[in-house]
Amino acid sequence: MGVVVVANPKGGVGKSTLSTQVAGYLAKRGYSVMLGDADRQQSCSQWLQRRPPQARPIVTWDASRGDILKPPRGTTHVVLDTPAGLHGKALKAVLKRADKLIIPLQPSIFDIYATRAFMDELLDRRQAADLQIGVVGMRVDQRTLSAERLRDFVGSLNLPVLGFLRETQLYIHLAAQGLTLFDVQPAQVQRDLEQWAPICQWLEA
């Protein structure tokens, strides 16, 4: 079973958006996917309630009470949306079961500073956890100085930037319908699918 964790101690950076899109991609690939929601806001669970019956199935469970990463039999892939402030014992428990960890990060200097200590803690634990870590730039134009600043910061930690996702209302409109980029006709979202291509390759590696 593959376990993908989406984490950042800062709120409002796009963890739920990234988690639902990853789950949607894996479901499209034909995997049996469970989307765990460890965030008290339960954004992913609310998203799944809106998911239409004709969309590829994604199962959820409320992981906010601490019973995380224990999906039922038959699940091939788990995506876990984590709460803000994840650290210490809770982080250690998540990393123990995770295969891949994605850090959504906006390019502002405030977000970078707020995430630095978390990344340092991850790097200290990564070797013991045999964990693959990647960063996704959220709401950013990769041609800008902000994107270059994010690349430099992540590069200084010897972590890969998996991709940059642009600022767009598309994700909001899809979320309102319980959908992802991978649930609609590719021609409608071609630009965004191109941005997702390297992220998807990393997920499958």
State the CATH number of the domain containing residue 19: 3.40.50.300
Lowest mean pLDDT among 53-62, 101-110, 111-120, 127-136: 127-136
Map residue 58 onto helix, strand or coil. Answer: strand
Largest CA distance in the chain: 46
pLDDT number for residue 68 = 52
* 162-173 core/surface letters (b: 16 or more CB in 10 A; e: else): bbbbeeeeebee
Supply the pLDDT for residue 93. Answer: 79
Q: Report the range of poorest mean pLDDT among 83-92, 97-106, 111-120.
A: 83-92
* Residues contacting residue 74 through CB under 8 Å, at least 6 positions apart: 32
Give the residue ranges of DSSP H helices in 104-180.
109-129, 145-156, 170-176
pLDDT at 62: 53
CB proximity list for 118: less than 8 A, separation 6 or greater: 7, 8, 9, 86, 87, 103
The answer, yes or no, to whether residue 67 has pLDDT greater than 60, is no
Per-residue pLDDT tens digits for 85-102? 777 787 787 788 889 999
pTM: 0.91
Residue 83 pLDDT: 81
Give me the long-range contacts of 57-61 (CB less than 8 A, separation at least 24): 57/27, 57/33, 58/23, 58/24, 58/27, 58/33, 58/34, 59/32, 59/33, 59/34, 59/35, 60/34, 60/35, 60/36, 61/34, 61/36, 61/37
Q: Is the pLDDT of residue 129 over 70?
A: no
Higher pLDDT among residues 141 and 79, named by residue: 79
The count of structural domains within the chain is: 1
What length does the chain have?
205
143-187 pLDDT tens trace: 888 888 888 888 888 889 999 999 999 999 999 999 999 999 999
> What does the mean pLDDT of the chain come to?
87
Task: Write the CA distances from 18 to 26, 79, 130, 200, 202, integer angstroms.
Answer: 12, 10, 22, 12, 14
Alpha carbons 5 and 100: distance in angstroms, whole number? 6
Quick: pLDDT tens for 18-47: 999 999 999 999 999 999 877 777 888 899
User: Mean per-residue pLDDT for 4-24?
Assistant: 93
Greater confidence (125 vs 8) lies with 8
Domain extent for 39: 2-204
Query: Using CA atoms, how far apart are residues 1 and 77, in angstroms rounded to an integer?
Result: 5
Written as one letter, the residue type at 205 is A
Residues 6+ apart with CB under 8 A from 21: 171, 180, 181, 182, 196
pLDDT at 54 over 60: yes
